[in-house]
Structure 1
């Protein structure tokens, strides 16, 4: 059986809409629909979709596995009061091959309770709009260290004040503070004083993915 049919089978078993699978997997609903309609045999999004179902890619592709048993097992292990904050997908969707310099590893996702979310992530637009970017480079120390989790609200795609943002210039990604300079563009500020300020000028290939709303600074003991 093809991947497209298997995705649809598991989605229907869970009684999920395309929007729900998009929320759980981070894969755009249009992409999911295309996989199902075209009855695709393979996709680079298979790992994200399988993870959303709580199964492996091999299980997703195996038509001999009883979908209802696999789904029920996943639902029993997953609490009703649980949310998943997924990593920003640099390879597809919005990322489209984004390069994050000096990133030595990634945090794939956070699974958190509603109480934790309410206490620790303030002022976000919606849980489904949150993503994790693993901190990279030295430029934002001491705000966060390389490898630390950075939570970004993907709903905020415009400049809303002098805050840290996750953005790109051409195909290179950055986490920096932005400061608007009328008539010039945006001044890019690093928290580490060893890094010089530079300017994003009008006409540059620039896009804000989201506003940073939470960072954690790690310490070794």
Structure 2
């Protein structure tokens, strides 16, 4: 695929210029999203994706899959013409799930039915280091144990693609309970479950309970009150 950048003519642009310009726009579109994540979303091997940053042309179908994964205009990504979002609405729609995450003692709920969508400004999305709404879900929080970070009844934005365990605030399942708490690893066989509200004591999940009944559902990016 030999496509010009901007309004210049094909004869004025060589393959190296095109590949370099494509790589630059790709970096801009990715922001803080790791290469491996975008490669997986685009169904491209990590080695092939890495070569795009080394001057390799993507080909039309790869470029289209990358543009879809990053929620940007294919025309802009491939040529530099137009706008990154294709002049579309400045909002993306994020699924709202009928799941209540307990920010207290725990709530029992079934996973997970979509009951609507929540519009989010693309500017806000990019401020969180995201160029795509892929994997993002809104769920409702119940309880005050994570206040002031997440208030009772807030809708919590969860990145379901981010399940790598490290210290931070996560939505997780423990048995039949769906919860949102701050997690901290305790050695190789334990997790400390911490509430931001000091009135709640920390808990520890370890051993067989951790191995068989604990699963991270996604990283919590914040709570939002839409009223």
Q: TM-score if structure 1 supplies the norm length? A: 0.50
Change beyond 3 A, Cα 1:86–1:190: same
What is the CA RMSD across the aligned residues, in angstroms? 3.0
2:143 to 104, 113, 137: 137
Q: Report the Cα offset of residue 169 of structure 1.
A: 0.5
1:191 to 192, 196, 211: 196
Structure 2 residue 188 is matched with structure 1 residue 148: no
Once the two structures are superposed, residues 113-168 of structure 1 have per-residue CA deviations (whole angstroms, 9 ceiling, x without a partner) of: 4234223xx13484121011212111111212111121110001121x32110001
Match of residue 179 from structure 1: 184
Change beyond 3 A, Cα 1:144–1:128: same
CA distance in 1, matches of 2:138, 2:124: 16
Match of residue 209 from structure 1: 217
Change beyond 3 A, Cα 1:85–1:178: same
Change beyond 3 A, Cα 1:171–1:149: same
Q: Which runs of 5+ in 1 are unaligned?
A: 1-78, 92-97, 101-105
CA contact (8 A) 1:107 1:149 kept: no
CA contact (8 A) 2:99 2:140 kept: no
CA contact (8 A) 1:140 1:176 kept: yes
Match of residue 23 from structure 1: none
Count of aligned positions: 128
Change beyond 3 A, Cα 1:216–1:196: same
SS in 2 for 1:143: coil
Match of residue 174 from structure 2: 169
CA contact (8 A) 1:134 1:150 kept: yes
Q: Which runs of 5+ in 2 are unaligned?
A: 1-87, 101-106
Once the two structures are superposed, residues 170-220 of structure 1 have per-residue CA deviations (whole angstroms, 9 ceiling, x without a partner) of: 1111100000000431000001111111111132201100001122368x9
Q: Report the Cα offset of residue 107 of structure 1.
A: 8.7
CA distance in 2, matches of 1:215, 1:115: 17
Structure 2 residue 103 is matched with structure 1 residue 99: no
Larger Rg: 2
